[in-house]
């Protein structure tokens, strides 16, 4: 492995003296895929560390010459961290900085500080662009997971986003299985009842069997029939190998919006440890936690207020930021064995098109993931790595522009780099808390409106018993149209529609779900939701109940449309309940058959999962 000394003085995998009494992480080589076991380090990439030796003449690598890169500078106007107020979520658009990345910042000798196009656009280390890798590693180890229980703490490798991170985790741990192979060798992956669609899309073609664990409104169940312990203890080997991996989203689950408590996590971790399961934890929404959701939900529904949640953090060591300390942590602070692979992404904190993220895990697993990266993506795009580096990194002291040595490219590049304006860890955390407040306010708006439409209220006027009396009684009937929990985290509201109460249910059964979706997209309501069917972890769940659910995203629409979308949805469902003619429903279903694209969106056609994948989330 190319060895890097980091700014905190540590080296990869080396234990800091303060954690001498911690256990070493366990060895998981027995879980490696056949391909991973056979993977050697890239012989060419092994030379990269020598490139950094000052004055060395490099005629070894097949690198193009940086002089011929056509970009002289890369410039951007980028938000200041306070653009979204952490207290109100309101915007401050004037808060912007100008970022300039020069072609060649030859004045900067420290490779962890040098952000220029000559290095960022060149072939580089698989683990990541050194300045960005160093920043993310430090942020991860000191602020995000300051208290990992194994010696030396975790390492990181940069990825092209969490989708790529998951693909690499599969490459690490799964030997592809074909129908002709012995069934006892078929790999299995534990997951929640509902799963982000890209996960089965990636895993099932490798022969991986999705193994849903019964989940309740607090997340994956640990005990009881269908719970984690039950599934693993009573595994039937005639159906495949007992699962050795789990995929889970614990902080704002997609699609259900669930936040898994620390207590539940601890119990799940113990079972995974007992049955030797590696946990792949995908947390794109970790910072979008809504601690007031339970209270606001109760207030909106006139219910007794729930007890305040216990202080979220389990970590003895503070992250250094009250906002991060207030968040429910991931599995990593519980990970004494080193069996957690956590996937992070800039898709929701910066932008999905960045295609940039990172994996956090124990050093031996990161070393294998680095080998996989060398042979596959090599590294994320240099443009993106440079821009994100410039956004985040604030050097301790800014080099004076006048001290820059003119570079060979100074004829066609801006003569001096602009002073650095990076957010640094504190700015990034301010940015995240501003995003949390802004998304929380959208969630609250949408949930209030959904609550107000959730029942069909019918009044029947009836006369009193004496026919001569002018008095009438009103009989009020309240039929629940749908139910949902206010999401505790993430970007989604998971709504269960009570189709069983619809007058036409006996005739159409689950087809009513398809009809409602089309009904909502019609000219009167014009609102598009995602059917739960595409997220079902297996066919049993899809047929049994997934069609009852719709996923609503409060993040994507413009702010002014959030309430409008909720109104349209609520009114649309109510309008659908007033449909009494079977012919109307038949026509809606006919429309689906005629229109392939809509069918795909509704998870009815062959290509359903593909379009969901194409839509990205
Ligand atoms: C749970 C989950 N994982 C991963 C992703 C995709 O992440 P990335 O853009 O980093 O590949 C999404 C996107 O919606 C998601 O919901």
Looking at the chain, how many residues does it have? Answer: 617
Cα 350 to middle of ligand 1, angstroms: 13
Ligand 1 pocket, residue 254 CB under 6 Å: yes
Cα 349 to middle of ligand 1, angstroms: 12
Q: Which of these, 540, 457, 145, 164, lies nearest to 313 by C-alpha position?
A: 145
Ligand 1, atom 4: nearest CA belongs to which residue? 162
Q: At what angle do helices 582-594 and 511-521 cross, to 10 degrees?
A: 80
CA distance 260 to 252: 8
Phi then psi for residue 264, to 5 deg, are -65, -40
How do residues 22-62 score in pLDDT, each as one tens digit?
999 999 999 999 999 998 876 766 777 777 787 888 888 78
Other C-beta atoms lying within 10 Å of the C-beta of residue 510: 16
Q: What is the pLDDT of residue 593?
A: 80
Ligand 1, atom 7: nearest CA belongs to which residue? 162
Ligand 1 pocket, residue 262 CB under 6 Å: no
CA distance 340 to 362: 8
CA distance 52 to 146: 30
Question: Which ligand 1 atom lies nearest to the CA of residue 196?
Answer: 1
Cα 284 to middle of ligand 1, angstroms: 6
Phi then psi for residue 531, to 5 deg, are -75, 145
CA distance 308 to 440: 18
Q: Which of 168, 198, 537, 553 gets mutated to test ligand 1 (max ligand atoms within 8 A of its CB)?
A: 198
Q: Which of these, 429, 579, 591, lies nearest to 521 by C-alpha position?
A: 591
Q: What is the pLDDT of residue 469?
A: 57
Other C-beta atoms lying within 10 Å of the C-beta of residue 497: 24
CA distance 356 to 384: 8
CA torsion sign for 317, 319, 322, 326 is negative
CA distance 344 to 326: 19
367 CB-side CA count, 13 A: 18
Ligand 1, atom 15: nearest CA belongs to which residue? 617
Ligand 1 pocket, residue 202 CB under 6 Å: no
Question: Which ligand 1 atom lies nearest to the CA of residue 352?
Answer: 9
Ligand 1 pocket, residue 357 CB under 6 Å: yes
Question: Which ligand 1 atom lies nearest to the CA of residue 357?
Answer: 10
Ligand 1 pocket, residue 248 CB under 6 Å: no
Other C-beta atoms lying within 10 Å of the C-beta of residue 568: 19
How do residues 339-388 score in pLDDT, each as one tens digit?
999 999 999 999 999 999 999 999 999 999 999 999 999 999 999 999 99
**What is the chain's Cα-based Rg?**
27
- Does residue 467 surpass a pLDDT of 70? no
Q: Which of these, 287, 276, 607, lies nearest to 432 by C-alpha position?
A: 287
Stretch 470-483: mean pLDDT: 80
Q: What is the pLDDT of residue 58?
A: 82
Q: Which of these, 372, 294, 363, lies nearest to 38 by C-alpha position?
A: 372
Stretch 175-194: mean pLDDT: 97
How do residues 121-144 score in pLDDT, each as one tens digit?
999 999 999 999 999 999 999 999
How distant, in Å, are the alpha carbons of 230, 322, 468, 565 from that of 613? Answer: 32, 36, 67, 23
Cα 388 to middle of ligand 1, angstroms: 19
Q: Which of these, 156, 48, 67, lies nearest to 111 by C-alpha position?
A: 48
**C-beta separation of 344 from 283 below 8 A:** yes
Which residue spans within 492-547 are E strands per DSSP? Answer: 492-497, 530-531
- Residue 459, beta-bridge partner list: 476
Q: What is the pLDDT of residue 597?
A: 57
3-class SS string, 230-242: HHHHCCCHHHCCC
CA distance 467 to 35: 86
**C-beta separation of 105 from 122 below 8 A:** no
Query: Percent of the chain beyond pLDDT 70?
Result: 85
- H-run or E-run covering 99: strand 96-102
Ligand 1 pocket, residue 373 CB under 6 Å: no
CA torsion sign for 34, 125, 165, 530 is negative
- Nearby residues of 506 by Cβ (< 8 Å), 6 or more positions away: none
Q: What is the pLDDT of residue 316?
A: 74
How do residues 263-298 score in pLDDT, each as one tens digit?
999 999 999 999 999 999 999 999 999 999 999 999
How do residues 141-154 score in pLDDT, each as one tens digit?
999 999 999 999 99
Ligand 1 pocket, residue 330 CB under 6 Å: no
Ligand 1 pocket, residue 161 CB under 6 Å: yes
Phi then psi for residue 552, to 5 deg, are -115, 130
Cα 602 to middle of ligand 1, angstroms: 20
Which residue spans within 335-401 are E strands per DSSP? Answer: 340-345, 357-361
Other C-beta atoms lying within 10 Å of the C-beta of residue 236: 7
Other C-beta atoms lying within 10 Å of the C-beta of residue 229: 18
- Nearby residues of 202 by Cβ (< 8 Å), 6 or more positions away: 163, 166, 167, 170
- Does residue 441 surpass a pLDDT of 60? yes
Q: What is the pLDDT of residue 457?
A: 84
Cα 164 to middle of ligand 1, angstroms: 10
Phi then psi for residue 176, to 5 deg, are -55, 140
Domains detected in the chain:
130-392 (3.40.640.10), 440-614 (3.90.1150.10)
How do residues 374-417 score in pLDDT, each as one tens digit?
999 999 999 999 999 999 998 766 544 443 444 443 444 444 55
- H-run or E-run covering 163: helix 162-173
Q: What is the pLDDT of residue 353?
A: 96
Q: What is the pLDDT of residue 206?
A: 98
Ligand 1 pocket, residue 440 CB under 6 Å: no
- Does residue 430 surpass a pLDDT of 70? yes
Q: Which of 282, 487, 609 gets mutated to test ligand 1 (max ligand atoms within 8 A of its CB)?
A: 282
- Mean of per-residue pLDDT scores for the chain: 88
Q: What is the pLDDT of residue 413?
A: 45
How do residues 523-564 score in pLDDT, each as one tens digit?
999 999 999 999 999 999 999 999 999 999 999 898 889 999
- Does residue 301 surpass a pLDDT of 90? yes
Stretch 82-111: mean pLDDT: 86
Ligand 1, atom 13: nearest CA belongs to which residue? 617
Q: What is the pLDDT of residue 314?
A: 58
């Amino acid at each position: 492995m190319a060895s890097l000394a980091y700014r905190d003085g540590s080296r990869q995998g080396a234990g800091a003296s303060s954690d001498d009494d911690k256990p070493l992480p366990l060895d998981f080589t027995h879980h490696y895929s056949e391909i991973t076991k056979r993977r050697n380090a890239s012989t060419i990439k092994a030379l990269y560390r020598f490139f950094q030796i000052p004055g060395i003449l490099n005629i070894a690598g097949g690198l193009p010459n940086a002089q011929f890169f056509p970009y002289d500078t890369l410039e951007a106007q980028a938000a200041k961290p306070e653009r979204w107020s952490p207290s109100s979520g309101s915007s401050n658009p004037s808060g912007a900085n100008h970022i300039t990345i020069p072609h060649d910042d030859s004045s900067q000798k420290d490779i962890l500080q040098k952000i220029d196009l000559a290095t960022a656009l060149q072939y580089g280390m698989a683990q990541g662009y050194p300045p960005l890798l160093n920043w993310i590693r430090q942020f991860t180890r000191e602020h995000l997971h300051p208290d990992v229980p194994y010696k030396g703490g975790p390492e990181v490798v940069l990825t092209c986003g969490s989708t790529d991170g998951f693909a690499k985790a599969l490459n690490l741990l799964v030997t592809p299985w074909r129908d002709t192979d012995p069934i006892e060798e078929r790999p299995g992956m534990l997951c929640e009842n509902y799963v982000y669609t890209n996960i089965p899309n990636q895993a099932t073609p490798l022969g991986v069997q999705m193994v849903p664990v019964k989940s309740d409104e607090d997340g994956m169940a640990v005990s009881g029939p269908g719970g984690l312990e039950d599934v693993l203890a009573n595994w039937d080997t005639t159906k495949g190998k007992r699962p050795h991996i789990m995929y889970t989203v614990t902080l704002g689950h997609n699609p259900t919006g669930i936040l898994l408590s620390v207590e539940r996590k601890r119990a799940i971790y113990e079972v995974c440890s007992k049955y030797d399961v590696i946990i792949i934890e995908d947390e794109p929404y970790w910072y979008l936690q809504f601690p007031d959701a339970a209270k606001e939900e109760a207030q909106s529904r006139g219910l007794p207020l729930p007890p305040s949640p216990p202080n979220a953090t389990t970590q003895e060591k503070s992250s250094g930021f009250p906002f991060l300390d207030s968040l429910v942590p991931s599995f990593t602070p519980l990970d004494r064995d080193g069996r957690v692979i956590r996937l992070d992404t800039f898709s929701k904190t910066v932008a999905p098109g960045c295609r940039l993220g990172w994996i956090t895990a124990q050093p031996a697993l990161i070393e294998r993931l680095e080998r996989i990266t060398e042979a596959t993506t090599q590294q994320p795009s240099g443009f993106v790595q440079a821009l994100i580096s410039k956004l985040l990194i604030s050097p301790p002291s800014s080099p004076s522009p006048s001290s820059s040595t003119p570079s060979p490219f100074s004829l066609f590049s801006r003569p001096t780099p602009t002073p650095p304006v990076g957010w640094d860890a504190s700015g990034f955390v301010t940015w995240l808390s501003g995003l949390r407040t802004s998304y929380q306010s959208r969630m609250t708006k949408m949930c209030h409106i959904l609550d107000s439409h959730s029942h069909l209220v019918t009044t029947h006027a009836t006369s009193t018993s004496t026919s001569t009396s002018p008095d009438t009684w009103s009989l009020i009937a309240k039929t629940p149209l749908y139910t949902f929990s206010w999401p505790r985290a993430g970007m989604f509201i998971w709504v269960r529609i009570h189709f069983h109460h619809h007058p036409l249910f006996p005739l159409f059964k689950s087809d009513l779900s398809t009809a409602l979706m089309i009904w909502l997209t019609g000219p009167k309501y014009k609102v598009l939701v995602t059917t739960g069917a595409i997220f079902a972890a297996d066919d049993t769940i899809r047929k049994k109940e997934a069609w009852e659910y719709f996923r609503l995203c409060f993040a994507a629409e413009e702010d002014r449309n959030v309430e409008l979308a909720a109104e349209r949805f609520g009114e649309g469902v109510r309008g659908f309940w007033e449909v009494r003619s079977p012919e109307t429903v038949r026509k809606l279903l006919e429309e689906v058959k005629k229109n392939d694209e809509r069918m795909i969106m509704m998870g009815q056609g062959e290509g359903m999962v593909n379009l969901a994948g194409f839509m990205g989330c």
